[in-house]
Amino acid sequence: MGFTAAHNPLAWIAEHPWAFPALEVMHIVGIALLVGNLVAFELRVWGAASALPIEPLARLSLGLALGGFALVAASGLLMFGSQPGDLIANRAFVIKMGLVLVAGLNAGAFHARGGLRRLDRRARAQTILSLGLWLAVMICGRWIAYV
């Protein structure tokens, strides 16, 4: 037997006049915190604002980016929970989730190799990849409504 709206305790979110739009706003605020802080950090990796020490900037930027990701994840999980069948069947959503996974793996690889201490060509390549992945995540997120 499949998962139906009758068995979904979060289905009310999709039907409520304010709940889903409020979650979308939270999602957008989280994206702004995540991507905005990543851009500031990545610009520093590329040499912008070189007077700023990388480690304190990273603590601030990446801490705020993680907070943004937490907000994105929490709001996204609630939105997903309100209509899981529709979203799993949506190609843009599936691609988006794959891209989020790759972005996370890229960030993990950056930090695992000591990217903060090695602002080399590879670190710069990983930051370009990061920004490209998050841009693609946002594009897929918008396409969910149209696919």
What is the residue-level pLDDT of the chain in tens, covering all 147 positions? 455 556 899 999 988 889 999 999 999 999 999 999 999 999 999 999 999 999 999 999 999 999 999 999 999 999 999 999 999 999 999 999 999 999 999 999 999 999 999 999 999 999 999 999 999 999 999 999 998
Say if residue 103 is exposed, middle or buried (CB neighbours under 10 Å; 0-12, 13-18, 19+).
Answer: buried
Which residue has 């979110």 as its token pair? 13
Q: How many Å is the Cα radius of gyration of the chain?
A: 18
pLDDT of residue 143: 97
Measure the CA–CA gap between 47 and 64, rounded to whole angstroms.
Answer: 21
pLDDT of residue 15: 87
* Cβ–Cβ < 8 Å for 103, 137: yes
Measure the CA–CA gap between 114 and 123, rounded to whole angstroms.
Answer: 9
pLDDT of residue 4: 54
Q: What does the block give as tokens for 142?
A: 């918008």
pLDDT of residue 1: 43
pLDDT of residue 138: 97
pTM: 0.90
